[in-house]
A and B are shown apart, each in its own frame.
Chain A
Amino acid sequence: MKALQQNLSRLEGADTQVLGVSMDSPFSNFAFAQQNGISFPILGDWGGPVTSRYGLAQKFDIQGVPMETARRATFLIDKSGKIINEQVDDEAVDPSKTVEACERHKLKN
């Protein structure tokens, strides 16, 4: 999230809206955004219906307690609604490839 914030001006410059999603409530996402200086919306996917629809729901076992959370992933979706780039798991921590894909896409159109 912080890495996306650091790249926000480049993403916005390439005509891209950044949206975060987590399975928290919108309220804890807002508190998280405030504490970390994040200015884009972080949507609350409470219960995970959208996370599941995107194929990212993942079951964890933490100290014997089962939990469901999202796999880390960043999708770049163009104006027609098509996925033009995706970064998954550890690869999604650094958003450089998403930023570059955005800028390439802008040059093409």
Chain B
Amino acid sequence: MKRQWRNVICLGLLNLILVPVSTPRLHAQNNKKEAAPMKLRVGDTAPDFTLLAFDGKELKKVSLQDYRGKKNVALAFFVFAFTGG
């Protein structure tokens, strides 16, 4: 009987030690949404593309390869027009 109680107390103490350590970690995982890994990384070659831009008068083709050997390009993808930022 005595030994059983001792086991119960030991288990209880173990819980006290282990639970507070593991709980915050679980919370942290739930709250933090992991960013998806990027397909393209620094050092990769940027894929070529040709898209259209409107300048108020006409549509113009713009290609990444137009700037090869001439200029760096800061290519900024954003969510949608008129959505801030």
Inter-chain CA distance A15–B74, complex, in Å, is 10
* Separation of A39 and B29 alpha carbons in the complex (Å): 42
What chain A residues lie within 8 Å of B45 (beta carbons)? 81-83
Q: Can you identify 14 A-B contacts, CB atoms within 8 angstroms?
A: A1-B85, A4-B74, A16-B71, A16-B73, A18-B73, A20-B78, A28-B82, A34-B56, A42-B53, A73-B38, A76-B75, A79-B70, A83-B46, A105-B72
Known: A45-B51, A81-B64, A83-B42. A31 touches B74 (CB 8 A): no
Residue of B nearest to A89 (CB): B35
Q: How many residues of B contact A (CB 8 A)?
A: 42
**Across the interface, which residues of B come within 8 angstroms of A23, CB to CB?**
80
B17 on interface, CB distance cutoff 8 Å: no
Chain A CB within 8 A of B62 CB? yes
Q: Are A72 and B77 in contact (CB under 8 A)?
A: yes
Size class of the contact patch on chain A? 35 or more
**Residue-by-residue, is B20-39 near A (CB-CB < 8 Å gives 1, otherwise 0)?**
00000000000000011011
* B contact face: mostly helix, strand, loop, or mixed: loop
What is the interface of chain A, defined by CB distance below 8 A to chain B?
Answer: 1-4, 11, 14-24, 26-32, 34-35, 41-45, 49-51, 53-56, 69-86, 88-89, 92-93, 95, 98, 102, 105
Within 8 A of A (CB), among B49-71: 49, 51-56, 59-60, 62, 64-65, 67-71
Contacting residues, chain B, for A95 (C-beta < 8 A): 74, 76
CB distance from A46 to the nearest CB of B (A): 8
Q: Are B75 and A19 in contact, with the CB atoms below 8 A?
A: yes
Q: In the complex, what residues of B have CB within 8 A of residue A71's CB?
A: 36, 77
